[in-house]
């Protein structure tokens, strides 16, 4: 029998909505930490692996409200977040004050929507945290995510034990919406870094270098980054499976650009990255991982070489 330290969530009741590339691993980690996890997903087959480990499943997400201390969501787009929380059959309209769980959205979504969900939840006797994450599929499996949280301080402390199972870096950034704003900073930093990483690999190959040897040199220096350490090796293996979907990254970049426009802030590098990723999607790689940017840049490079010849 595992001791309490190994199962820090023993007895905690958790509802989980959304079992995609990252959500499935995250729900599984909470279960392994002792929580009584029940999941809902629009596609029941996506929860099959979790159900095989004894995790419960419900057909209606609102059923989670009466049987959970914490309800987590990790869905795809802001429209999904709005539907899950504020829609006609959403969580917030179904809340009962006497048994309202804490709501925690880990989707990357719009800051204003996060604030609206929290305000609506407060009218029903609870509150909502926005807690988007960074770290991809690897971080989700290994519990090393960075979790960026916006919302009430007491609610943050209540959720901290679960966050500590999921992530290594957990920071409350401020009021509702602040977690989402922080994630926009994260995505802005990643976006242009991905361009440089892919172009660097193309340069190494065109110069006749051994890309593996190049990574060994540059990965530990000033050019090192999470993308260089985790995604560049995948590119060299020809592995473009999603740790994070291209189409979801485009969604994130769009949110960041909308927020920048609202704040009258020019971010030309971010705008360029979004254009390049839209080209990746147009080439049929929308459901590939973000490292598929390399494929689009390689094709562009090949066309440039043909034109010069």
Whether domain 182-308 has CATH 1.20.120.140: the reply is: no
Mean pLDDT per 10-residue section of the chain, whose length is 309 residues: 72 94 93 95 80 88 95 96 96 86 98 98 96 95 97 98 98 98 98 97 97 96 95 97 95 98 98 97 97 95 64
CATH homologous superfamily for the domain 13-175: NAD(P)-binding Rossmann-like Domain (3.40.50.720)
Q: Where are the domains of the chain?
A: 13-175, 182-308
d(CA 293, CA 297): 6
Q: What residues are labeled active site? A: 183
Q: Report the chain's terminal Cα–Cα distance, integer Å.
A: 69
Query: Tens digit of pLDDT for each residue in 164-221?
Result: 999 999 999 999 999 999 999 999 999 999 999 999 999 999 999 999 999 999 999 9
Pairing mode, strands 36-40 and 13-17? parallel
Q: Which two tokens stand for residue 166?
A: 């999921």
């Amino acid at each position: 029998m595992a001791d309490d330290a190994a199962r820090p969530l023993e007895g905690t009741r958790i509802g989980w909505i959304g079992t995609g590339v990252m959500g499935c691993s995250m729900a599984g980690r909470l279960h392994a930490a002792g929580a009584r996890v029940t999941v809902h997903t629009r596609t029941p087959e996506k929860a099959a692996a979790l159900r095989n480990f004894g995790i419960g499943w419900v057909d209606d997400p609102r059923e989670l409200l009466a049987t959970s201390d914490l309800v987590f969501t990790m869905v795809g787009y802001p429209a999904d977040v709005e539907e899950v929380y504020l829609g006609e059959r959403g969580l917030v309209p179904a809340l009962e004050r006497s048994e309202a769980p804490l709501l925690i959205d880990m989707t990357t979504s719009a800051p204003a929507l996060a604030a609206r969900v929290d305000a609506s939840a407060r009218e029903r006797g609870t509150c909502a945290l926005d807690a988007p994450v960074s770290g991809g599929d690897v971080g989700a499996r290994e519990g090393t995510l960075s979790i960026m949280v916006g919302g009430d301080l007491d609610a943050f402390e209540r959720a901290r034990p679960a966050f500590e199972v999921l992530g290594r870096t957990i920071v409350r950034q401020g009021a509702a919406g602040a977690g989402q704003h922080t994630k926009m900073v994260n995505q802005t930093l990643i976006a242009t870094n991905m361009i440089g990483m892919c172009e660097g690999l193309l340069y190494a190959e065109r110069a006749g270098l051994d890309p593996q040897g190049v990574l060994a040199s540059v990965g530990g220096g000033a050019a090192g980054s999470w993308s260089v350490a985790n995604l560049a090796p995948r590119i060299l293996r020809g592995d473009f499976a999603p740790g994070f979907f291209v189409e979801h990254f485009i969604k994130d970049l769009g949110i960041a650009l909308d927020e920048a426009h609202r704040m009258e802030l020019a971010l030309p590098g971010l705008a360029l990255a979004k254009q390049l990723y839209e080209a990746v999607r147009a080439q049929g790689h929308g459901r590939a991982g973000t490292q598929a940017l390399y494929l689009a840049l390689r094709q562009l490079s090949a066309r440039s070489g043909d034109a010069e010849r």
